[in-house]
Structure 1
Amino acid sequence: MKKQRSISLFVFGLALTLVMYNCKKSDPLEPDQTIVDKLNDIKVAQVTIAPPAAVTTTPSSITASAKATETATGIASISATGVVPASVTTSATQVSAALSPTEVATMAAVTPATFAAVAAGGALPADLKSVLDKASADPALKAFLPSFTLPTVNGKAVPGRQGASVPQTIAQSEGLEVSDECIAKAEAAFATAKVNLDASKATQIAAVEKAYQDAIAPISAAQATCTGGIPAKYAALDAAAKTTYDATNAALDANQALLGSNYALLKALNSISYLGYLSSSNTLQAADVAACTAAGAASTTAAQAARTANTAAVEAAYQTALAAANTVKTDLIKSCHNQGGGN
């Protein structure tokens, strides 16, 4: 009886060993190579680096008054003809109608030193500014003042004053009982694939940064060039305006007797026209300097915005590839699981 029991235990143990052997033998030691190849084929999509948005600018401009030019031309002709043109007389009448005798006297007596100070960028003395403001508000006298347009940056007039990364997903094994050796190889295959994805992302991010550095590199020099050209631009314009003022003033002085009471009125008008130009010139010079700075700032902002957008695009491409890799990793782990074979 004891002997029979021993034989039964032996047979049971042998059977259990065979069952366990067959089960272990059926668990794969290598993950499915087809799925490994699929994992290795996943790439980070190549992002086309978008350049910064273009910064548009328009220059300032100043236009001499056609009415003032007509009057200056008429005054210049008096010495040769001995006749005061009707247009000149009309201009004097418009001054008389708009300004008081005191205001006329104030403008007729502006000194060369005052003109020079204003031309150098100085502020208008209060009494002169008051008369000039009044002239600017009068439709008739405003016609003797120059017109100007401010510079613009990205369509806006410039006055003279002036990405978080998405968390990486972690593949879950879904509680599968798998071969330790097979799962280790699956994990290693995923790790290798991820290293390649990370390297591709890093390469593209480096390209984005280079594009950004290339975009901002010339901005400082361009701004300096822009600002540096302003003095010469206005030196030529100011010289031409002064020549016209001086020539008209000389013609008035030469024909004072012929002009009579209109002499002071026309002297005042000549001063109004010239001071109006100088005031506009000073405003535009300041605006031009501000526009150079604004253009540089806009270019920098555009470059930064492009870098941010390009970086986000690379990150999105990376996360798409990483999500695909995690999905394939799950399939790879499943391939290590005994799905029921064993014969």
Structure 2
Amino acid sequence: MSTTQTNKAALIPSKGANFSVSETSIPEITPTEVLIRVHAVAINPVDAIIQRTGLIIDNYPAVIGCDCAGEIVRAGSDVTRFQPGDRVLAACAPSVFDPQGPKRDNWGTFQTYVAAKATVTVRIPDQVEYREACVLPLGCSTAAIGLFSTTKLGLELPRLEPVSKGKTVLIWGGSSSVGSCAIQLAKAAGYEVATTCSMQNTEFCKGAGADYVFDHRSEEVVEEILAGLKGKEVVGVFGCVMPADALTKCGKLASKLGGAKKFVTVFAGEDQAKQMAGDAFAAIPQDVAVSHCDEWLNTNEHVRSALIDNWLGSALDKGLMKCLPRPEVVGKGLEHCQEACDRMLKGVSATKLVVEVP
């Protein structure tokens, strides 16, 4: 890479401040990292929360952002799987990226060049555009932990040629980022999938692969799911969207559906679950084994290698994995990161807000 090239970033100058786009240094990479020329970034709810609250930020100015797709311009000395010119997607959030890795204030994807751990970077096929690929990293990583970690639902791993298990998993919130990835991953692992969403997103969830779709707004949704899945061997419930009322319903379903009686929430741990759901968390039936998405993909080799090394790139190439939710490009240029985060806080449905980085 030419030494004359410069890096621009959407910097947060202070806690709660709006982004300010300015030149900054190009991140240095370690032997196990790759340097990516970012072409598109996706906006996650946590990005807007981090900006407003200062969560996980140690020093300012800071660069945040979890998801990106782009082109590798440099590979670390220990990296053998990638070379300059490779088109890739990558997860750069510390919780997914490497909690024990180098501490840096410019870890995020909202910049022209970003450092990413090679072990959570995936080559993407030519037919997948950057704006499509960038929607996957965080949602797919979280879904994989919830479904496949042996301390969560512990399902069998996804395959490029799925074999039916004759078992069913319930995914609450199938039109969300984590939910739409979870549907596809569970189907690739051979499971039948039941999910919930707003009725306007029914076809979206069916397109992702769901076998049964229930209206989460129905006052009788618990009874409807119990009736619809009667006689099924249910391996667990994965709550991908967790307001307090949804947590209560998922807890009841995990208990009454029988089977494994496992319930995994999308929360990052029990403390967050209690903080966000309060009394609803305490009301979960005692016979339900509750866990949370509190593991790091890069420290769970069982899940990481299955998803990153053996499945995702080929699944994208074969069309087995779709880039869902579909991207909506807010704008071209890092100056649109603020608009995208503001829109995220207002709520989106069955779509992923994306900023392209020309």
> What range describes the TM-score normalised by the shorter chain of this pair?
under 0.3
TM-score normalised according to structure 2 size: 0.19
Higher relative contact order (CA 8 A, sep 6+): 1
Structure number with larger C-alpha Rg: 1
Task: From the two aligned structures, give the one with the greater helix fraction.
Answer: 1
TM-score normalised according to structure 1 size: 0.19
